[in-house]
């Protein structure tokens, strides 16, 4: 059975995400220890809290996490966890993992945060298999990820539009995926995405 480390950087309720990953066929360990997290079959960075708090939880492990992901450790970053894959954020100081070139910026909208359901335009990527050309997913965010323009078409695998702002809903680099929405709160399609990730880990 695939053993997934769900990293806890001290914010948010991890219960529903743990259940979603288990429903997808994984054994899940919640941990605050990077030695343990990077020793499992896959790493999941959850999506509740602030960039500043997540960077504190990352501590000095950023370069080590990046090397593990570049070396092929499968990873899924959700909402804040996706943002942590980038080097910097407008939300707070400190450095993220820096795997994906770009930055995290505030949503360009009148009503912030974006909370609720939104359409997602998806491309052909294994983690999005079986959800159709368009899905509706649950968001709760004030910030979004902006991939460097030179890599945008290669890295961004799904997009959403909130008010007049179109942004990356999902990204992929190697065996690392990021989702700006919350699959664990996105009904059956979201659980399918989590199951797809577990399937990708086993390949």
Q: What's the confidence (pLDDT) of residue 12?
A: 65
3-202 carries CATH number 3.40.50.880: yes
Mean pLDDT of all residues in the chain? Answer: 95
Domain positions in the chain: 3-202
Segment 87-108, tens digit of pLDDT: 999 999 999 999 999 999 999 9
Catalytic sites, residue numbers: 79, 182, 184
Q: Are 78 and 4 contacting, i.e. CB atoms less than 8 angstroms apart?
A: no
Q: Which of 197, 199, 203, 190 lies closest to 75, judged by CA?
A: 197
Q: Are 145 and 168 contacting, i.e. CB atoms less than 8 angstroms apart?
A: yes
Look at 2-6, 51-55, 67-71, 144-148 and tell me which has the smallest mean pLDDT.
51-55
Segment 33-79, tens digit of pLDDT: 999 999 999 999 998 788 998 888 888 999 999 999 999 999 999 99
């Amino acid at each position: 059975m695939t053993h997934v480390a769900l990293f806890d950087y001290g914010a948010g309720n991890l219960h529903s995400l743990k259940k979603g990953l288990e429903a997808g066929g994984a054994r899940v360990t919640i941990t605050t220890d990077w030695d343990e997290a990077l020793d499992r079959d896959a790493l999941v960075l959850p999506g509740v809290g602030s960039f500043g708090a997540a960077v504190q939880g990352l501590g000095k492990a950023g370069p080590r996490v990046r090397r593990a992901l570049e070396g092929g450790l499968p990873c899924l970053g959700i909402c804040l966890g996706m943002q942590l894959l980038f080097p910097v954020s407008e939300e707070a100081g400190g450095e993220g993992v820096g795997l994906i070139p770009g930055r995290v910026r505030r949503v360009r909208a009148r009503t912030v945060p974006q909370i609720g359901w939104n359409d997602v335009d998806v491309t052909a990527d294994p983690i999005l298999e079986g959800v159709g050309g368009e899905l509706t997913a649950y968001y709760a965010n004030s910030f979004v990820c902006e991939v460097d323009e030179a890599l945008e078409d290669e890295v961004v695998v799904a997009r959403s539009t909130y008010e007049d702002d179109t942004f990356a809903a999902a990204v992929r680099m190697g065996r690392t995926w990021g989702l700006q929405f919350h699959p664990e709160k996105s009904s059956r399609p979201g659980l399918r995405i989590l199951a797809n990730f577990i399937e990708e880990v086993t390949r």
